[in-house]
Amino acid sequence: MKRKRFPAKAAVVSPPPPALPPLAENDFGHIKGQEASKRAVMVALAGRHFAILIGPAGNGKTMLIQAAKAIDPQFQAKEVTIWNRLNDSPRQRDRHWEPLSRLPADLHIEVPCLPFSEWMNPRRGTDTARVRQVVEHARAFAVGHEDLTLDEGCLLLAKQAYQELCLTPRGLNAAIPVARTIANMEESENIQEPHLAEAVQYRLFDRRQ
């Protein structure tokens, strides 16, 4: 008796993921990696703050500014290209960077060298649609939420930043309105410690020598 032959089971092929919509020119999605820098630019946009973008050439400073201006043409920013010399001591680097502390900016945004793994990553990061959504929402919430009062926990954090990070009085004064913007982005009635902690990180060059 002949044995029946059953057809081989067809391999299950998963459908390809849906194609992402194409990006417009000067979209944040074109910028590889640099998610922390995108976040900082988002904060600057949300609060209409003036920003300085600092970092080596060719890592996205110009593209970040162009993407921000595509959302708000009035966005104000300056880019500063720096070259870290490998043999420089920390004191020498401080001397090279010290003039930057005199530039009047609300945020100092570092745009570091992009790791090769991030350059190779095909995943699309934060794009303009997401940035625009957050910025417009924060600006709407900001109406009637201008209180810059710091509670006890925030005052303790400010004291630590002053004493341990050697943040200047100018740096602390500049960080508080930025913290208010971050609070607005999170729909917070008051400035909380995480908001101030993030804002302090954007004062790279306000350190007492």
32 in any annotated domain: yes
12 in any annotated domain: no
pLDDT tens for the chain, 209 residues: list them.
556 555 555 555 556 556 667 777 899 999 998 999 999 999 999 999 999 999 889 899 999 999 999 999 999 999 888 765 545 555 655 666 666 666 779 999 999 998 898 888 888 889 999 999 999 999 999 999 999 999 999 999 999 999 988 888 889 999 999 999 999 999 999 999 999 999 999 998 877 55
The whole-angstrom distance between residue 155's C-alpha and the CA centroid of its chain comes to 24
Nearest to 60 by CA among 73, 83, 41: 41
167 backbone dihedrals φ, ψ, rounded to 5°: -70, 140
The residue segments making up the domain with residue 138 are 28-114+131-201
* SS3 label, residue 167: strand
156 in any annotated domain: yes
* SS3 label, residue 93: helix
145 in any annotated domain: yes
Query: Domain count of the chain?
Result: 1
According to the model, what pLDDT value does residue 104 have? 79
Please, which residues bridge with residue 189 across strands? none
182, 185, 189, 193 alpha-carbon torsion, rounded to 10°: -30
Supply the pTM of this predicted model.
0.83
According to the model, what pLDDT value does residue 86 have? 46
Helices (H) and strands (E) in the chain, counts: 8, 3
